[in-house]
Amino acid sequence: MKRIALLLSYDGTDYHGFANQVNQKTVAGEINSCLSKIFNQEVYVVCAGRTDAGVHAEFQVVHFDVDESLLKKFFDKSRLLKSLNKMLDDSIGVLEATEVSDSFHARFSAKSRTYNYFIIQEEFYHPMILRYAYPVPQKLDLDEMNLACSYLSGENDFSAFCKSSKLQKSNVRRVNFAAMKKSSLSYDVFEINANAFCHQMVRSIVGLLLEIGTGKRPASELDRILKGKSRTDLTFIAPPHGLHLVHVEYQEELFKTDHKVELF
């Protein structure tokens, strides 16, 4: 068997998340189906981070294994990319493909992931933007929000910000960087980089930050809730459409370019 890594980008609006689910349209389901047709055998992808329903990705990494004989017969980077992009819906793009070692794992080999959450700071906005950003017409206090972000750095138990899952053994994560930035006159963006994320972690943090930014809570609330480890202290979870997976870091660069997209 040979292992292939793919770099994906997708608009998650019309998908029930990344992970394969029975009777649901998912990103993994679409890619698995296309790869299985190309290689004429069952193929399943493993991703760097499973995005929820409605969440987007500008930089998602997956890997899959395929029989070496089929790979020699069919695998050509250009041919594989053309075939996949022709078969897939326009909302999913395969940007690069590369052969990797058997020890590579899209999820477990990743050193960190970076997410951005986009916020529209306008009273009136173009409706198409609502696919990719969340509108907050009230002026946000970025200084207060960044003070709250300072409590996120380091290794912490993020149970208060994680939706419970039987598959999740621990909610301890290491946040390397978290900050609010002014992307443009009309947009603010929350950027966070961590070794990994648990279910709804980023959206839960953003929901609290927006309450802090609009003066409903002080910055110290984030520290209190983080240490309290109780999800009942949260009153708002930011919607999924503003969230984007923008980068996955590995020990060595897998692809020629980071394909960075400047949406706003």
Where in the sequence numbering do the catalytic residues fall? 52
From first CA to last CA, the distance across the chain in angstroms is 42
CB 204 within 8 A of CB 132: no
DSSP symbol at 121: -
**What phi, psi does 71 have (nearest 5°)?**
-65, -45
Residues 6+ apart with CB under 8 A from 114: 191, 192, 193, 245, 246, 247, 248, 249
Alpha-carbon gap, residue 229 to 212, rounded angstroms:
18
**What phi, psi does 67 have (nearest 5°)?**
-55, 135
Beta bridge partners of 118: 189
Token match 């609502």: residue?
Answer: 130
Residue 207's nearest CA partner among 159, 145, 143 is 145
DSSP symbol at 251: S
Sign of CA dihedral 250, 20, 86, 69: positive
Would you call 35 helix, strand, or coil by DSSP? helix
